[in-house]
Amino acid sequence: MTTLSLYGMGTIIGAGIYVLIGKVAAVSGVSTAYAFLLSGFIAMFSALSYAELASRFPQSSGESAYVSKAFNRDFLARIVGWMVVLTGIVSSATLANGFLGYLNVFIDISSTAAIISLILALTALSAWGIKESVFLIAAITLLEVGGLIFVVLLADGNNGIPWSKIVELPWSPTEASSILVGSFLAFYAFIGFEDMVNVAEEVKEPRKTIPIAIIWAVVLSTLLYVIVAAVAIRHMPIADLAKSDAPLADIISQSGYSPVWISLISLIAVINGILVQLIMASRVLYGMGKQGLAPEILSRVNSRTQTPIISTLIIALFILIFALWLPLITLAKITSFFMLSIFTLMNISLIVVKRKDKETLGVTTFPIWVPIIGTFLCLMLLVAQI
pLDDT by 10s per residue, the chain, length 386? 566 667 667 667 765 677 788 889 999 989 999 999 999 999 999 999 998 998 888 776 677 778 888 888 878 878 888 888 888 898 888 888 888 888 888 888 888 888 899 899 888 877 776 555 566 666 777 888 888 888 888 876 666 677 788 888 877 888 888 898 888 888 877 877 877 776 666 667 777 788 888 888 899 889 989 999 998 888 888 888 888 888 888 888 888 888 888 888 888 878 877 887 888 788 888 877 887 777 888 878 776 767 788 888 899 999 999 998 888 778 878 888 888 899 999 999 999 999 887 767 778 889 999 999 999 999 988 887 76
At 370 the pLDDT is 95
Return the number of other C-beta atoms located less than 10 Å from residue 108's C-beta: 6
At 308 the pLDDT is 82
At 213 the pLDDT is 86
**192 dihedral zone (left: phi>0; alpha: psi -120 to 50; beta):** left
Query: C-alpha distances in angstroms, 271 versus 96, 151, 256, 266?
Result: 8, 19, 27, 9
Q: What b/e sequence results for 90-106 when a residue is b if at least 16 CB atoms lie within 10 Å of its CB, and e otherwise?
A: bbbbbbbbbbbbbbbbe
At 135 the pLDDT is 67
185 Cβ neighbours under 8 A, 6+ residues apart = 20, 23, 24, 27, 35, 329, 332, 333, 336
Query: C-alpha distances in angstroms, 386 versus 78, 253, 302, 379, 383?
Result: 26, 38, 44, 11, 5
At 45 the pLDDT is 94
- CA–CA dist 11, 289 (Å, integer): 25
208: burial class by Cβ within 10 Å (0-12, 13-18, 19+)?
A: middle
pTM as predicted: 0.80
- CA–CA dist 90, 121 (Å, integer): 18
- CA–CA dist 150, 167 (Å, integer): 22
Q: In sequence order, what DSSP letters do the residues of 213-261 get, joined into one string?
A: HHHHHHHHHHHHHHHHHHHHHHHS-HHHHHH-SSHHHHHHHHTTS-SHH
Amino acid at 74: D
At 374 the pLDDT is 95
At 203 the pLDDT is 65
Query: C-alpha distances in angstroms, 363 versus 58, 239, 355, 359, 360?
Result: 10, 49, 15, 9, 5
At 368 the pLDDT is 93
- CA–CA dist 134, 365 (Å, integer): 27
